[in-house]
Structure 1
């Protein structure tokens, strides 16, 4: 049984309209020369490290870095064992007690090739390392999920070009030689899947949706990393549509889901889940935001949600949008009553002052 409460509570997004403030930041510098689709974005301090992705049939192995304070791009040279062009890989930030943080890249692919390699980027020297590994190494895959838990990276699912995967692997980072192990998981196993949105909540990984290769999913599996058991998060109220290739971003006790594809159409909707009460509000959108898309990335920085790139079934994007979640005034949606505080404003107030 999940320790995330499923008791009844008010729907945090019960209002029919939502204020928001979308902006389109003006970036400068050495901007990327290609659109971003199925790339990764890793925030290290005030720097956003964007790697790989692209648009079919071409993919990239370039590293671009965006200064989130100045909105200036750089395309610095890297050295070492540089990864091949890839998309639908994962990037995991690992901080060390001594030395700069590292970014661990796993999996991904290019055309019909699926990788199971690990590459490590030193975020200070920008030198790539392809480490030696031992143990039970996962098969090649992309569109999997990855989280850092304690001193290990946990890899879940994905796809190998033939079928969706439901296996779970753990990469132990504490050893001189990185060691993989496959975890035996009990409980009620969900459908294998790729392109799920996932987020770590204490010792559990919460998943939303994804695709099993035949249809898009709308369930909310929960993997307990301590007990090694699957369960399902039962929401009190949920209007969660099926979706894949969307994103999940943690904002205090809330998770913001954005975009995705439901098997028929792409979305530019935002949906909010309250982790404390296990409630999820209906999707919402406001004018001025990004067009419908999936395969994008999102990061939360300085009280703002940034959305980078994506794909809408016809074209890949190289744009950046920003949703301001600070306590500044908001533009109202047309259907909202004049002078009424926005849901996002109330949301941020609850995050900043949880006892109010």
Structure 2
């Protein structure tokens, strides 16, 4: 996890690279551009137990992931404390997972509770915006809501996809609903939703996309969601027949017959580990077992925020890529064109 701070606005802080409810490893290469990605990070981080090697996989479940279960609570606090690049504004409690008391004490913060204003999503990596000031949090939430009403994206994600979109750029529109089966939530598209459907939780969603780079059977795609819905970007890419690498929930909805891809019925397709073809596995230098542990390659790279004062220029926050994401780009030759 990295923490990056840009601008002083009532004590907000920004965290990066939170994945799946656990921090999984720092973004390396913070001082250089990887596949055309710039970064605002102020220093590099290489914590204990991590490795700069990306070629030989050995017994790793997936290269570039730090396993928190191999760390003591004290070691995890040390790693998180070392991840703080800058800390300004009013002091507040840095709320983060199960090590809240230790981390807060280690950072010398006060008793104020931080509020999550914007996050990359449960399985995605990238920026997490926190605020210890209720007024600042309210202002930012109003800014994001106003931007959504104006259909003005404020977040930019990067995704590596299994497959290449049919067009180089465009928008994806779909009505989505969240269904629960055996206690597990799953997002499914709804064709021609009625007013009753909308009242019952179906939401019309919209995302913009642009293909940044392509390789044999894969692509680096920029995604800008206009609406907010659980798993929106993953489902949108599935509807393009190009699931995100590491999508072990929705990628099974894309079937293939004689090299042609098609959508399977979402309601009757159960989640399963993503299956990649042999050519892609060879380029990634992964075994099928390692690919089954692949993290979701969806990264909240950039957030646009309002300036501190009305006449100030907007603030742009950038998160460096996680090491596993950078490694994948290098293996697949996905450099910005």
TM > 0.5 between the two?
no
Q: TM-score, normalised by structure 2?
A: 0.30
Q: TM-score, normalised by structure 1?
A: 0.29
Q: Which has the higher helix share?
A: 2
Q: Which has the higher strand share?
A: 1
User: Larger RCO: Structure 1 or Structure 2 (Cα < 8 Å, ≥ 6 residues apart)?
Assistant: 2
